[in-house]
Structure 1
Amino acid sequence: MADNRAGIDSTTKEFIIHRDLHGRVAYELGTAILRGDFVPGSSLPREVELMERFGVSRTVLREALRTLTSKGMIQSRPKIGTRVRPREAWNLLDADMLHWYSRVAPPMHFALKLQEMREMIEPYAAALATRNHDAHALGKLEKAHRAMVAAQNVDEWVRADLEFHLCVLAACSNELLVPLGVLIERTLEGQLRLNAKRAEVFNASLAEHTAVFTAIVARDAEAARRAMSDLLGVTRARIEG
Structure 2
Amino acid sequence: MSRTVLREALRTLTSKGLIESRPRVGTRVRPRHAWNLLDVDVLDWYSRVAEPMQFALKLQEMREMIEPYAAGLAAASHSDETFGALAAAHAAMAGARNVDEWVRADLQFHLSVLIACSNELLIPLGTLIERTLEAQLRLNAKRADVFNASLAEHTAVFEAIRDRDAHAARDAMTRLLSVTRARIEA
* TM-score (normalizing by structure 1): 0.76
5 Å matches for 1:87-98? 87-98=32-43
Quote how far apart the aligned CAs of 1:86 are: 2.7
Runs (4+) of structure 1 exceeding 6 A deviation are none
Quote how far apart the aligned CAs of 1:58 are: 2.2
5 Å matches for 1:51-70? 56-70=1-15
Residue in 1 that maps onto 2:145: 200
Residue type of the alignment partner of 2:136 = Q
Residue in 1 that maps onto 2:29: 84
* Number of aligned residue pairs: 186
Percent of residue pairs bearing the same amino acid type:
77
Distance 2:7 2:139 in 1: 37
Matched, 1:216 2:161: yes
Quote how far apart the aligned CAs of 1:151 are: 0.3
Residue type of the alignment partner of 1:59 = T
Distance 1:124 1:77 in 2: 42
Distance 1:214 1:60 in 2: 52
5 Å matches for 1:56-205? 56-205=1-150
Greater relative contact order, per chain length (Cα 8 Å cut-off, separation 6+): 2
Quote how far apart the aligned CAs of 1:85 are: 1.8
Quote how far apart the aligned CAs of 1:57 are: 2.3
Quote how far apart the aligned CAs of 1:116 are: 0.2
Residue type of the alignment partner of 2:120 = E
* TM-score (normalizing by structure 2): 0.98
Distance 2:33 2:58 in 1: 15
Residue type of the alignment partner of 2:116 = A
Distance 2:181 2:33 in 1: 26
Distance 1:189 1:85 in 2: 29
Task: Describe the superposition over 1:1-38 as per-residue Cα deviations: whole angstroms up to 9, x where unpaired.
Answer: xxxxxxxxxxxxxxxxxxxxxxxxxxxxxxxxxxxxxx
Q: Which runs of 5+ in 2 are unaligned?
A: none
Residue type of the alignment partner of 1:96 = D
5 Å matches for 1:215-234? 215-234=160-179
Residue type of the alignment partner of 2:87 = E
Residue type of the alignment partner of 1:150 = G
Distance 2:34 2:52 in 1: 23
Quote how far apart the aligned CAs of 1:173 are: 0.6
Residue type of the alignment partner of 1:190 = A
Q: For structure 1, which segment, 56-65 or 219-228, has the greater mean C-alpha deviation from structure 2 after superposition?
A: 56-65
SS in 2 for 1:76: strand
Quote how far apart the aligned CAs of 1:182 are: 0.3
Larger Rg: 1
Distance 2:46 2:28 in 1: 19
Distance 2:20 2:102 in 1: 43
Task: Describe the superposition over 1:152-179 as per-residue Cα deviations: whole angstroms up to 9, x where unpaired.
Answer: 0000000000000000000011111111
SS in 1 for 2:97: coil
Distance 1:87 1:157 in 2: 34
The CA RMSD over aligned residues, in Å, is 0.7
